[in-house]
């Protein structure tokens, strides 16, 4: 059984490239009953190089890999897509799947806000902030990031495979 998934297509805002081919996916309440299982589930589904912490309070993105963020505790308002992007409220148990190039920033969060981050195949991620000198290299990098074989929550089935199977 899969949970409700919100789909957010984002456009390049001139500073943050986002990803024109793949939409942000938000799995509402995917781990609401078991937030402590987030990291193990991501790792089991080959989303590794995981870490536990927060989201930076400035716009940033990764041009060389996709990223999944699972909310282990607390609440936050995350802005995706850059300065004019979408505000997304997240709660413990929610999962955000960010395609390569997607800007994200913590706008506000509860003191107990904690997330698990991970990357397909355990990719080492880069850090980009939308500086003018980053282009056009990042656009080429984003385009070449492969679609993962597994959904970070559901493995060989799930929303990633449904929503990201077209677009490239």
- Count of alpha carbons within 13 Å of 88, Cβ hemisphere only? 30
| Residue 63 domain-assigned (yes or no) | yes
Neighbours of 140 (CB within 10 A): 10
| Residue 72 domain-assigned (yes or no) | yes
Residues 6+ apart with CB under 8 A from 127: 60, 62
Query: How many residues can be counted in the chain?
Result: 168
**Banded pLDDT at 165 (limits 50, 70, 90):** confident
Write down the mean pLDDT value for the chain: 95
- Using one digit for the tens of pLDDT, what is the confidence trace for 48-78? 999 999 999 999 999 999 999 999 999 999 9
| Residue 161 domain-assigned (yes or no) | no
Across the range 129-146, mean pLDDT stands at: 93
Number of domains in the chain: 1
- Using one digit for the tens of pLDDT, what is the confidence trace for 73-92? 999 999 999 999 999 999 99
**Banded pLDDT at 3 (limits 50, 70, 90):** confident
**Banded pLDDT at 2 (limits 50, 70, 90):** low
| Residue 65 domain-assigned (yes or no) | yes
Neighbours of 65 (CB within 10 A): 23
Helices of type H across 11-168: 38-44, 137-144, 159-163
| Inter-residue contact 59 to 35 (CB < 8 Å) | no
**Predicted local distance difference test score (pLDDT) of residue 1:** 55
| Residue 142 domain-assigned (yes or no) | yes
* 135's tokens: 């282009």
List residues bridging with 68 in a β-sheet: 97, 118
Residue 70's domain is classified under what CATH number?
2.60.120.10
DSSP H or E stretch at residue 27: strand 24-27
| Residue 159 domain-assigned (yes or no) | no
Residues 6+ apart with CB under 8 A from 136: none
pLDDT above 80: residue 166: no
- Using one digit for the tens of pLDDT, what is the confidence trace for 104-125? 999 999 999 999 999 999 999 9
pLDDT above 60: residue 17: yes
Across the range 3-25, mean pLDDT stands at: 95
Instruction: Please tell me the distance from the alpha carbon of residue 164 to that of residue 97, in angstroms, as a whole number.
Output: 11
Domain of 37 in residue numbering reads as 5-150
């Amino acid at each position: 059984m899969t949970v409700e998934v919100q789909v957010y297509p984002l456009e390049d805002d001139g500073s943050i490239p986002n990803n024109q081919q793949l939409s942000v996916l938000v799995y509402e309440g995917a781990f609401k009953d078991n937030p402590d299982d987030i990291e193990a589930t991501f790792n089991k589904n080959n989303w590794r190089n995981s870490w536990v912490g927060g989201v930076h309070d400035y716009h940033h993105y990764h041009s060389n890999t996709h990223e999944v963020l699972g909310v282990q505790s607390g609440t936050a308002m995350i802005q995706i897509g850059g300065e004019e992007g979408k505000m997304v409220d997240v709660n413990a148990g929610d999962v955000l799947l960010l395609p390569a190039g997607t800007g994200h920033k913590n706008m506000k969060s509860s003191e107990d806000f904690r997330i698990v981050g991970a990357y397909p195949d355990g990719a080492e991620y880069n850090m980009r902030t939308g500086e003018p000198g980053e282009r056009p290299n990042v656009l080429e990098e984003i385009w070449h990031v492969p679609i993962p074989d597994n959904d970070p929550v559901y493995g060989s089935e799930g929303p990633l495979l449904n929503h990201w199977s077209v677009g490239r």
